[in-house]
Structure 1
Amino acid sequence: MFTGLVEGTGRVMRVDRQEIDARMILRPDFEMENLTLGESISVDGACLTVVHFTGDVFAVDVSSETLTRTTLGRKGPGSRCNLERALKVGDRLGGHLVTGHVDGLGQLVERFTDGRSWRMVFQVPESLTSHIIEKGSIAVNGVSLTVNGCEGARFHINIIPHTAGLTTIGDLAVGDEVNIETDLIGKYVEKMLSSRLVGLKENRPEQRVSAAFLRKHGFLD
């Protein structure tokens, strides 16, 4: 489990393809103390396991599932990644609960300055839209961010200078793809609400979890 508060970035040193999966060698741009074999590290929002380390370099195995469902399959030597080690029990939860299980890919479609910050607009698959709400939390390339607004399959966020400097988010250009993980709590709420609809006829509009359904059951005013 992670918080989405990225500790810093790292660079891909080498990618060894092994048939359908790969081993990725990374060097953090910051000091990772007491690294242990088998620990979990979020690499651009994907939870990976340390399988080897020496000095300031560590290796992770990347499955074919992860290579195809995330942007990691496009990483090569020199690529920068956001890195975060797993949350310790008792640590401050400054971001939000992030599992490191990427739900899908988004694409940056607009970017412009907003005071001292940057406003970024992303487009996501329709399947993710029910889990993205205004002022809710979302992880973009492993970075915990607040959704400022959303409409249809698009949502927008603000990136402050601190976040832009510490992570790779500030380097994104229009057209770039990103790893998206929606709010964990929202997924479980939708699952539990959907279970109330068991027994209703399939494909009826009132059977789906919608704003009207949430209002009817007291979840919205």
Structure 2
Amino acid sequence: MFTGLIEGTGIIKALRRDGGDMHLTVKPRFNAGEVVVGESVAVDGVCLTITAAAPGSFDVYVSAETLSRSTLGFLRSGDEVNLERALKLSDRLGGHLVQGHVDGIGIVAGRFPRHKSWNIRLEIPGNLFRYVIEKGSIAVDGVSLTVNRCGPKFIEVNVIPQTGSGTTLLSKRTGSRVNIETDLVGKYVEKFVSLSNSANGDGPDGDRLETLLKS
């Protein structure tokens, strides 16, 4: 679990294809402290497991499933990525709960200055709009952002100077791909409503809801 508050960026030092999978070597551009094999790290918002660690770098494994659902398959050596280590129970939750399970790939449709900030317009997959509300939370390449506007085929988010300088977001150009993770609360609400709507029937969903309510 993550917060969407990026600790810093890193550089893809090397990548190696392994059949349909991939191995990445990442060099943080900040003091990441001691990283341990087996712990989780979010790379551009994707939760990955550290498979090897060396002074100043670490390796992660990316499965074919993850490559098919995220932008990681488009990475090249030398690319910059957002990094965040997993949340500790003692940490403050300054952003929002981010799982690192990408829902889909968005496309940067435009970037507009607004005072000292930037508005970024994103086209996202149509099936994700039901989880997005104005002033709700969304993770873009792992960065926790507030949805300022929901259009018919796009959303807009605001990137303040602090976020812009500490992440890769302002390096994105029109047409760039970004990882999108919607707020998990909306997904659970949808599931619960779906179960509620079928509760009057005799189907398995109704049985599960009845069991849940009795527990």
Q: TM-score, normalised by structure 1?
A: 0.89
Displacement, 1:199?
Answer: 6.3
Q: CA–CA distance in 1 between the matches of 2:199 and 2:186?
A: 23
Partner of 2:175: 175
Please identify runs of 4+ aligned residues in structure 1 that moved more than 2 A.
Answer: none
- Partner secondary structure for residue 128 of structure 1: helix
Partner of 1:45: 45
Q: CA–CA distance in 2 between the matches of 1:161 and 1:171?
A: 13
Partner of 1:23: 23
Partner of 1:76: 76
Q: CA–CA distance in 2 between the matches of 1:180 and 1:55?
A: 31
TM alignment of 1:119-198, pairs within 5 A: 119-198=119-198
* CA offset digits 1:23-80 (Å, max 9, x no partner): 1001000011121110000000000000001101100000001111111001011000
Q: CA–CA distance in 1 between the matches of 2:174 and 2:77?
A: 22
Displacement, 1:153?
Answer: 2.9
Displacement, 1:127?
Answer: 0.5
- Partner secondary structure for residue 196 of structure 1: helix
One-letter amino acid of the counterpart of residue 69, structure 1: R
* CA offset digits 1:193-217 (Å, max 9, x no partner): 111111689xxxxxxxxxxxxxxxx
Q: TM-score, normalised by structure 2?
A: 0.91
Does 1:111 pair with 2:111?
yes
One-letter amino acid of the counterpart of residue 113, structure 1: P
Partner of 2:56: 56
**Count of aligned positions:** 201
Q: CA–CA distance in 2 between the matches of 1:48 and 1:134?
A: 29
Q: CA–CA distance in 2 between the matches of 1:200 and 1:184?
A: 26
Q: CA–CA distance in 2 between the matches of 1:200 and 1:78?
A: 56
Displacement, 1:137?
Answer: 0.2
Q: CA–CA distance in 2 between the matches of 1:78 and 1:174?
A: 20
Identical aligned pairs, as a percentage?
Answer: 49
One-letter amino acid of the counterpart of residue 26, structure 1: V
Determine if contact 1:129/1:152 at 8 Å carries over to the other structure.
Answer: no
- Partner secondary structure for residue 147 of structure 1: strand
Q: CA–CA distance in 2 between the matches of 1:135 and 1:70?
A: 25
* CA offset digits 1:116-156 (Å, max 9, x no partner): 01111101111100000000000000000000110223110
TM-align CA RMSD: 1.1
Q: CA–CA distance in 2 between the matches of 1:114 and 1:85?
A: 31
Q: CA–CA distance in 2 between the matches of 1:199 and 1:180?
A: 32
